Structure 1
Amino acid sequence: MSLEVLEQLEAKVQTAVDNIALQKMEIEELKAQNQRLKDENQQLRNDHQAWQERLRALLGKMDQMADAV
Structure 2
Amino acid sequence: MSFEVFEKLEAKVQQAIDTITLLQMEIEELKEKNNQLSQDIQHAAGDRESLVRENAQLKEEQAAWQERLRTLLGKMDEVN
Q: TM-score, length-normalised on structure 2? A: 0.81
User: Counterpart of 2:62 in structure 1: which amino acid?
Assistant: M
Distance of 2:9 and 2:40 partners within structure 1: 46
Distance of 1:54 and 1:3 partners within structure 2: 76
Distance of 2:2 and 2:65 partners within structure 1: 94
Q: Deviations over 1:15-54 (max 9, x none)?
A: 0011001100100000000000000111011111101110
Distance of 1:55 and 1:23 partners within structure 2: 47
- CA shift, 1:67, in A, is 2.5
User: Counterpart of 2:56 in structure 1: which amino acid?
Assistant: R
Asked whether 1:66 is paired with 2:66, we answer yes
- The 5 A counterparts of 1:1-69 are 2-68=2-68, 69=70
Which structure has the larger Rg? Answer: 2
Query: RMSD between aligned alpha carbons?
Result: 1.1
The answer for the alignment partner of 2:76 in structure 1 is: none
Amino-acid identity (%): 39
Q: TM-score, length-normalised on structure 1? A: 0.93
